[in-house]
Amino acid sequence: MADIVNLNTLRKAKARAEKEQKAKDNRFKFGRPKVLKDIEKANKALESKRFEAHHLDPVTLKPIKD
């Protein structure tokens, strides 16, 4: 014989599990220390600077000097 299942209990358990997964994702996304955020920001700035340094003048096709 099958067990009787309360659907409200299952629905609430599923909602709790989804909420916990979202919280876990947010802890990873927003819960980084400031040092790591600063390092990532510096790396992005350096990468952007290197990328911008390779721009060419559209008329002469020579590197743009700032």
Name which residue leads in pLDDT, 15 or 52: 15
Domain range enclosing 46: 1-66
What was the pLDDT predicted at 66? 59
- Mean pLDDT of the region 8-36: 93
Least confident piece of the model among 2-11, 16-25, 38-47, 51-60: 51-60
Radius of gyration of the chain (CA): 26
pTM of model > 0.85: no
Give CA 59 to chain center in angstroms.
39
| CA distances from residue 37 to 5, 45, 55 in whole angstroms, order as listed | 47, 12, 28
Residue 56 DSSP label: B
User: What's the domain count of the chain?
Assistant: 1
- Which tokens hold the place of 66? 């700032």
- pLDDT tens-place string over residues 23-57: 999 998 888 888 988 999 999 999 998 888 877 77
CA atoms within 13 A on the CB side of 30: 6
What was the pLDDT predicted at 2? 80
